[in-house]
Amino acid sequence: MLENYNPSTDENKRLLYVAMTRAKQILTVHLNSTFLDNISAENLERVVDNQVYRPPNELVMHLTYKDVWLDFFNNKQHLVSQLSSGDDLILDGDECLNSRGQSVLRFSKKFVNQIESMKQNEYRLKSAKVNFIVHWLKEGAEKEVKIILPELLFEKQLNEGN
């Protein structure tokens, strides 16, 4: 998926070359530019889709370790250990609670800003659940801690008249 990709630098050209040469049998490229129009290859099929697509009503995000406040989990190990993948979480501002109302996860500052950006695009955070529970070892620490990587559901806020 190459959305607004700019291959003008040597580094970007190298990255594109590496990505394209990884394909073993089939390579599918989705892009919204013309810089690959001069490429020809055996069995090349070009499909042009000029349809305008409306934004989806729902978006699901799978968070990574960059999206949660990692040090927050240091004192939450007994609570995290009681959770399993698929368990529902309760949204409460910049954190998530377990079914007993205990805080088990806080979003990183960067992700809180991303939530605000989503609001600007008329998406509201609707629900959260445990996606993965993984082990994280902080640099210099001796013991790993379990962290929650949640799945979040955002819902498009429909304006009146939509």
pLDDT at 159: 66
CB neighbour class for 73 (10 Å; exposed up to 12, middle 13-18, buried from 19): buried
Write out the chain's pLDDT in tens, 162 residues.
Answer: 788 888 889 998 898 889 888 888 888 888 888 888 888 888 888 888 888 888 899 999 999 999 999 999 999 999 999 999 999 999 999 999 999 999 999 999 999 999 999 999 999 999 999 999 999 999 999 999 999 999 999 999 876 554
CA 48/CA 28 separation, integer angstroms: 13
Query: What DSSP state is assigned to residue 94?
Result: T
Polymer length in residues for the chain: 162
pLDDT at 158: 75
As separate numbers, helices (DSSP H) first and strands (DSSP E) second, the chain gives: 3, 6
Say whether pTM exceeds 0.85.
no
Q: Which residue from 161, 162, 156, 159 is spatially nearest to 60, judged by alpha carbons? A: 156
Spans of all domains in the chain: 1-53, 58-156
Q: What is the CATH number of domain 58-156?
A: 3.30.70
